Amino acid sequence: MKILVCISNVPDTTTKVKFVDSDTKLDTTGIQWVINPWDELSLTRALELKDDPSAGVKSVTVAHVGLPASEPTIRKALAIGADDAFRVNAAPADSYFVAAQLAAVIRKEQYDVILCGIESSDYNGSMTGGMVAEFLGIPSVSAVSDIKIENGSPLLTREIDGGREIVTVPMPFVAIVQKGIAKEPRIASMRGIMTSRTKPVRLYEPEAEEPLTGIKVYEKPSPRAACKFIDPENAGQLITLLQNEAKII
């Protein structure tokens, strides 16, 4: 069984987002790029399955659509334990474009289980996984919180309203995973880092596809108003403020 983990390259969560070119482009100066947290957890679960001999996982591959600048993120995934990787050499314009590029390579390379994070922490589009499955004409299961492989067949746990359901699905399939799929992301071992330098990363040139969406302008949320502190002795003032200023009572 071959597992593919699709990873997105996103700014670290502590990044102070800024824009340039009249708020049409992200200012990338000084940004620390990391593996999208959902993808990092899928990778961790994929590696856990590979570590379990009964699951019969032969290899874990990492897929990425991005420019050479995202190489360190791919190497990080390899350091954590993926066996190899491929990168489609194109800027990830939108979900449709990324899904199309991923699908084109998956058709050539053939994988049994394709894992996509439910969303990426930058644009939170939540579309790529479903689109990949559509392009390939294979089933997709969304909001997966656990994957098990029993006697060679996958068992997926989905979080649904008020409970969970456990589903089976024929391979190949796309699992769109959410947090909970692994307890915490795996860290890279020293030997993992050392071997990551020489693990193969296959490079594909992009298929001729046009993105369906484009960014017109970015707007930041208005800054939060300053917090008002009220002396515990002045409980009356709190009530006045809640009534007249906040208008919530």
Partner 1 sequence: MIRQVVFALALLATVGVFAFTIRRIVSFFRHTRPGYPVRQIGKRFVIMLKVAFGQTKIFSRPVTGLAHALVFWGFCIILFGSIEMVIDGLAGTERSLSFLGGFYDFLMGSGDIFAYIVAIAVIIFLVRRIFIHIRRFEGIEMKKISHIDAIVALSMILLLMISLAGMNIGYAGGTIISGEPVKGVYPVSTWLARLIGNESPEFMHTLYEVCWWTHILSIFVFANMLPYSKHFHVFMSVPNVFLSRLEPLGKLTNMDNVTREVKLMMNPETAFSAASSDAPVERFGVKDAEDVVWKTYFDSLSCTECGRCTSVCPANITGKKLSPRKVMMDLRARMKEKGPLMTSNGRDYSDNKSLLRDYITEEELWACTTCNACASECPININHPSLIVDMRRYLVMEEASAPGELKTVFSNIENNGAPWQYSSEDRMLWARDLNFSIPLMSDCAANGTTPEYLFWVGCAGAFDDRYKKVVRSFAKILNHLKISYAVLGREETCNGDPARRAGNEMLFQMQALQVIEVLKSYGVKKIITTCPHCSNIFKNEYPDLGGSYEVINYLQFLNRYAAEGKLGINPGSLKGKAVTYHDPCYLGRANEIYDEPRALLKRLSGGFTEMERHGSFALCCGAGGAQMFKEAEKGEKEVFIERTEEALRSGAEVIASACPFCMTMLTDGLKYKNRENDVRNLDMAELVAQSLEL
User: Residue 179 phi/psi, 5° resolution?
Assistant: -60, 145
> Is the CB of 91 or the CB of 194 nearer to partner 1?
194
Site for partner 1 in 47-106 (CB under 8 A): 71, 75, 80
CB of 81 to partner 1, least distance (A): 8
Query: Total binding residues for partner 1 by CB under 8 A?
Result: 25
- Of 21, 22, 187, 222, the residue at the interface with partner 1 (CB under 8 A) is 187
Handedness of CA 237, 242, 247, 249 (dihedral sign): negative
CB of 198 to partner 1, least distance (A): 5
CB of 190 to partner 1, least distance (A): 4
The single-letter code of the amino acid at 8 is: S
Site for partner 1 in 164-183 (CB under 8 A): 183
Site for partner 1 in 23-42 (CB under 8 A): 32, 34
CB neighbours of residue 175 within 10 Å: 28
Q: Cα 186 from chain centroid?
A: 15
Start-to-end CA distance of the chain, whole Å, equals 60
Helix or strand holding residue 3 (H, E):
strand 2-6
Binding site for partner 1 (CB under 8 A): 12-16, 32, 34, 71, 75, 80, 183-195, 197-198
